[in-house]
Structure 1
Amino acid sequence: MAIPPATTPDVLDLTDPVRQAWHGDAPRPVRTYLWRPTGTPRGTVLLSHGSGGAAETLSWLAEALSAAGFLAVGVDHHGNSYPTGYVAEAFACWWDRPLDLTVALSEVAAREETGPVGVAGYSAGGYTAAALLGARIDRAGYSDLVHLRVPQPPNPEYPTIVEELTSRLTESDRDQWVEHCGRNYRDARARAGFLICPGMGPLIDADSLRHVEEPVSIWWAGADDQTPAPDHALRYASLIPGASAQSAGDAVEHYAFLADNEAGAPARTAVAGAAVEFFTRTLA
């Protein structure tokens, strides 16, 4: 697949009045980027970046989709993306991510034609894509995590997250998070999902994955030391009915799927081509 020329997305500074920004009393920002195709879109694909990333880190995928006739819609997840600034709580409140995509889709759909809708994501964004299809966080596992009953995994994007949250959160806060985490954030408008090195695998409720009805394609990296395939991508693949799963290569690393990673360019080209084929087939 030839790499399409770089394009500049349109930017919408959207907000969600139902949720509050992490600082102050303003509504939660949901900055949204639209990579537009030429002419009427054949469909829309929502994009969710990895933890601490940004919509622009998936520009390689957005540009391939828009070149193929899809409207690609990415967001910067507030507090969990470098353009918005990091907030420790945003790295733990995973359910805000699928809600961001639902808000963005509703706002875009109110403005223009979207056609059938798919969702794609990388790393934490892979979880986000799955959540829009009905994947839920296991409450018991998440409770053990936020109540510090199990060892805390390292967070390379926010190394001090445990210390900061421990100093700020009350037991009531933690219990409220547990209640939120296990809800179903499915968006019935999403008809297919494309997951790249998806994260949160061990903490996804198995029964929720067994009930995903939409087609799902999962890609993993053989040298991924952040979301190793056996615990993450392959768990999703083994539980979601009919999901397809494929390796991007034994030597491909987790961060190969960031737009500025030169070594990952061949893997990104292959996965972008697979995403275009997948959504062309499933959103027809």
Structure 2
Amino acid sequence: MKWLVRPLHEAGFRVVALDHHGNNYVDGYEPEGFLHVWDRPRDVSFALEALAREQPLGPVGVAGFSLGAYTAAALAGARIDPQILWAVLTGTIPLPEIPEFPGALEALRKKHPLDKWSRRALDAAAADLSDPRVRAVFQIAPGVGGLVTPESLASVRVPVGIRWGGADTVNPYDVDTRPYLEHIPTATGSSAGPDVRHDDFFAPEPVDPTVRVRVGREAADFFQQHLG
């Protein structure tokens, strides 16, 4: 994520990048790290609490790529629909393959059989995870758009900037980006390019080698405008 961290740092922001448990290169992968997405906003709030004990935070902005973009929106008020989540877990609604973790849903079912899933778990997924310290959100190739409720998106009040790739088949525009863009009243956004794929934001040889530089600068400009 250096392409995103560097321009933010150069713009004068204090930047923290999280390694979420179960989904990072240090500790490895677990299915919960990809599918228990509601844990991620809690990770950020936990980190903010720790940082606030060191020194005053100042205005907080959250930028995220893919699942991180959902995380950013959740911290501004986006909430998961438990009925849709249950349909995904039971296979009623097919889950697109996760390139980094093929078979993630099957692995999750083995660890957590559906007959042992409780209402408490679904309630946790649908909880309000917003953090009042978050003043602005920047989403890049956002995911989970098909699982969030339009009502929760309509309640978002902080500025939201969105960028997406026109050739993204992992988080397709109509499924994952459009809900954020159309239902968040404060959202503005634009395509990063018609040929930009999801993995062009991290692939060694992206189709457009300038996309990460451009989007990173746009994120810095966005936060300078809205956070000062």
Q: Shorter-chain TM-score category?
A: over 0.9
Report the Cα distance in structure 2 between the residues aligned to 1:234 and 1:112, rounded to whole angstroms: 38
Structure 2 partner of 1:122:
65
Of 198, 201, 206, which residue of structure 2 is paired with 1:254? 198
Given the superposition, is the C-alpha separation of residues 246 and 159 from structure 1 closer, same or farther in structure 2, using an over 3 Å criterion? same
1:177-223 superposed Cα distances (whole Å, 9 cap, x missing partner): 31211001000000000000100011111100000000000001011
Task: Name whichever of 156-165 and 184-193 sits farther off.
Answer: 156-165
Of 139, 147, 156, which residue of structure 2 is paired with 1:203? 147
Structure 1 partner of 2:47:
104
Give yes or no for contact 1:146–1:174 (8 Å, CA) kept in 2.
no
Structure 2 partner of 1:139:
82
* Superposition map of 1:266-277 within 5 A: 266-277=210-221
1:242-264 superposed Cα distances (whole Å, 9 cap, x missing partner): 31110101111111112745544
Task: Tell me which of the two structures has the higher relative contact order, counting C-alpha pairs closer than 8 angstroms and 6 or more residues apart.
Answer: 2
Structure 2 partner of 1:75:
18
Q: CA RMSD in A?
A: 1.5
Report the Cα distance in structure 1 between the residues aligned to 2:92 and 2:152, rounded to whole angstroms: 24
Structure 2 partner of 1:161:
104
Report the Cα distance in structure 2 between the residues aligned to 1:106 and 1:69, rounded to whole angstroms: 21
Structure 1 partner of 2:224:
280
Of 170, 190, 194, which residue of structure 1 is paired with 2:138? 194
* Amino acid across the alignment from 2:186: G
TM-score normalised by structure 2 residue count = 0.94
Following superposition, the deviation at residue 148 of structure 1 comes to 2.8
Report the Cα distance in structure 2 between the residues aligned to 1:155 and 1:177, rounded to whole angstroms: 22
Report the structure, 1 or 2, having the larger helix content: 2
Give the total of aligned pairs: 227
Following superposition, the deviation at residue 111 of structure 1 comes to 0.8
Q: Which runs of 5 or more structure 1 residues have no equivalent in the other structure?
A: 1-57
Report the Cα distance in structure 2 between the residues aligned to 1:260 and 1:176, rounded to whole angstroms: 41
Secondary structure at 1:150 match in 2 = coil
Give yes or no for contact 2:199–2:206 (8 Å, CA) kept in 1.
no
Report the Cα distance in structure 2 between the residues aligned to 1:259 and 1:164, rounded to whole angstroms: 26
Give yes or no for contact 1:191–1:215 (8 Å, CA) kept in 2.
yes
Q: Which runs of 5 or more structure 2 residues have no equivalent in the other structure?
A: none
* Amino acid across the alignment from 2:218: A
Secondary structure at 2:210 match in 1 = helix
Report the Cα distance in structure 1 between the residues aligned to 2:198 and 2:45, rounded to whole angstroms: 26
1:126-157 superposed Cα distances (whole Å, 9 cap, x missing partner): 10000000000011100111233332321221
* Amino acid across the alignment from 1:215: P
Structure 1 partner of 2:5:
62
Q: Does 1:218 align with 2:137?
A: no
Report the structure, 1 or 2, having the larger strand content: 1
Report the Cα distance in structure 1 between the residues aligned to 2:135 and 2:112, rounded to whole angstroms: 37
Report the Cα distance in structure 2 between the residues aligned to 1:109 and 1:263, rounded to whole angstroms: 40
Given the superposition, is the C-alpha separation of residues 165 and 262 from structure 1 closer, same or farther in structure 2, using an over 3 Å criterion? closer
Report the Cα distance in structure 2 between the residues aligned to 1:253 and 1:181, rounded to whole angstroms: 29
